[in-house]
Amino acid sequence: MSLTIGELSRQAQVKIPTIRYYEQIGLLAEPARTEGQQRRYGAAEVRQLNFIRHARELGFEVEAIRQLLDLTRAPERSCGEVHEITRTHLEEVKDKIARLTALRDELEAMVACDHRKISECRIIEVLADHGQCQHAQH
């Protein structure tokens, strides 16, 4: 079971330069190499890279992921710390959701604007500072 970087890329859904970048910043260990210096990976790397991608998609910063990866190597005393990292992140996520939900509602109200009645289009007003209409003529 030996994968090239291209195969790893496809399996883990992470672009090749990004894999090399992760290796460079120490998020991914240096893999085995062929005589000709080409990288070869195993199943463990596929799992780890999936872990990283998943965490990135969920908004964890690289530094947080590094901490999580470090902690998983000492699992017997890690749960509390993992818990703490996660809880901090949860607050951020909740905050993001709240702001995006407010945005979505605004955008939906905007999009409800009737194309044929340009004079009533609210997009600019809504994006302008609340309460102050920047384009009264619009």
**Residue 76 or 91 having the CB closest to DNA:** 91
- Segment near a second copy (CB under 8 A); pick from 1-9, 20-28, 32-40, 125-133: 125-133
d(CA 28, CA 21): 9
Q: Which stretch binds a second copy (CB under 8 A): 2-10, 14-22, 27-35, 111-119?
A: 111-119
DSSP assignment of 28-61: SPPPEE-TT--EEB-HHHHHHHHHHHHHHHTT--
Please list the residues that pair with 3 across neighbouring strands.
41
Cα(83)–Cα(91) distance, integer angstroms: 13
Binding of residue 16 to DNA (CB under 7 A) = yes
Does 104 contact a second copy by CB under 8 A?
A: yes
CA pair distance 14, 86, nearest whole angstrom: 23
Q: Which tokens belong to 54? A: 């998943």
Q: Provide the binding-site residues for a second copy, judged by CB under 8 A.
A: 47-48, 50-51, 54-55, 57-59, 68, 72, 75-76, 78-80, 82-83, 86-87, 89-90, 93-94, 96-97, 99-101, 103-104, 106-108, 110-111, 113, 115, 118, 121, 123-124, 127-130, 132, 134-135, 137-138
